[in-house]
Amino acid sequence: MVIIETVFISTFLSFIYEGIVRKVAARMQNRIGPPIWQPILDFIKLLSKERFEIIGSHHSFITFISIMSVASLISIVFMFPLVGLLNFNWNFILLIYLLVFSTACFILVGLSSPSPYTLVGSTREAILFLAYDLPLIIILLYFAMTYKSLQLLPANLILSFPLLFISFIIITQAKLGLQPFNIGEADQEITAGYLTESSGFELAMFNLAKSMRIFIMVSLATVLFFNPSSIPMFFIYSSIILFVVISLRVALARFRIDQGFKFLWIYLLPLILIDIVKVMLI
């Protein structure tokens, strides 16, 4: 059925997107880098690894959360115009809910273990979430109120909303946990942040969720701002956006949590409000 095909294709594409990120970032750093299908191999390997029993951790809950994080992200794929299965009015609201839910899964995982590393990682991720989520909701709500449904978006909205596009790219960096906002998983300070105590199946699921996040956010940016009508154009625009994301990841260091928080609050809201007010005044 179409549903199963979509699930498999989106999973496969997520892995490929992550593989492209790693490969292109490596090339930019004058290294060779892993092959593009490396994330698929990592996933298969992780599925066969054992789960470490950590005293004080709620394991069945964590497994459930890991599956839910993937499920919520896969559900978003069904709303995209070219797939068109979840085509109803105001499906933006469902989109917002699913995006927030997937982040909540990551935060919950860190809080479910007794390790101080995961606690700090989740706390940081939650703090950053407060900073980038409100602008994201404002953008999506504005589009919801103006265009009602993802399928009814006009093409090439980037021309009318360039500043919204820039702020969406910044939000994407924060949401994907890439430089300069990879604070929740800062491996130099807190081992692996909220994923420190994960292993085996749940780690495979969370890694899949992270890859899907890349695919979802980049595709969302393509749909919102370009809305291409054919599949080849969709991938061309997606690769441009992916390239911008990778360049930011390679060229920048990492913010400290308070610096990242301040940056997002000070710069995102004005950019968004300028564009929205400008369009409303015309």
Partner 1 sequence: MHDMMIPFGPAHPALPEPIHLKIFLEGEEVKDVDFFVGYNHKGIERTLEEMDFSKGIFMTGRVCGICSSAHSTCFTRGVEKLLDVEIPRKAEFIRTVVFELERLTSHLLWLGMLGHEIGFDTLFMLCFREREYVLDSLELITGKRIVHDINTIGGVRRDISPELIKKINKNLGILKDKVEYLGTVIKKDPLIKKRTVGIGILDKKDVEQLSLVGPVARASGVPYDIRKTDKYLAYDDLNFKVVTNKDGDSFARAFVRVQEMSESIRLVKQALTFIKPGPIRNKPTLTFTEKEAISRVEAPRGELIYYVRSNGTNKPARVKIRTPTYANILCLGKVLVGYTLADVPVSLASLDPCLCCTDRVTVVKDGKEEIIKLEDLHGHH
Please give the C-alpha separations between residue 79 and each of 82, 84, 170, 232, in angstroms, as whole numbers. Answer: 9, 6, 23, 19
Give dist(CA 21, CA 37) in Å, integer: 11
For the bound state, the minimum distance from the C-beta of residue 210 to partner 1, rounded and expressed in Å, comes to: 17
For the bound state, the minimum distance from the C-beta of residue 175 to partner 1, rounded and expressed in Å, comes to: 17
- Kindly tell me which residue out of 87, 149, 160, 191 binds partner 1, with binding defined by CB under 8 A: 191
- Kindly tell me which residue out of 3, 52, 93, 187 binds partner 1, with binding defined by CB under 8 A: 187
For the bound state, the minimum distance from the C-beta of residue 123 to partner 1, rounded and expressed in Å, comes to: 8
Residue count at the site for partner 1 (CB under 8 A)?
30
Query: Among all chains, which residue has been given the structure tokens 């009318």?
Result: 160
- Kindly tell me which residue out of 254, 267, 273, 276 binds partner 1, with binding defined by CB under 8 A: 254
Query: Among all chains, which residue has been given the structure tokens 């992916």?
Result: 242
Query: Among all chains, which residue has been given the structure tokens 């989109």?
Result: 95
Q: Which of 104, 139, 140, 101 is nearest to 125 (CA)?
A: 104
- Kindly tell me which residue out of 21, 73, 77, 120 binds partner 1, with binding defined by CB under 8 A: 120
SS3 label, residue 153: coil
SS3 label, residue 203: helix
Exposure on the CB side of residue 261, measured as CA atoms within 13 A:
12
Binding status of residue 111 toward partner 1 by CB under 8 A: no
Binding status of residue 282 toward partner 1 by CB under 8 A: no
Per-residue mark of binding to partner 1, 30-49 (x: CB under 8 A) = xx------------------
For the bound state, the minimum distance from the C-beta of residue 34 to partner 1, rounded and expressed in Å, comes to: 14
Give Cα 18 to chain centroid, integer Å: 11
90 φ/ψ angles, rounded to the nearest 5 degrees: 65, 30
- Kindly tell me which residue out of 6, 57, 87, 179 binds partner 1, with binding defined by CB under 8 A: 179
Binding status of residue 117 toward partner 1 by CB under 8 A: yes
Residue ranges binding partner 1 (CB under 8 A): 28-31, 55-56, 114, 116-117, 119-120, 179-180, 182, 186-191, 250-259
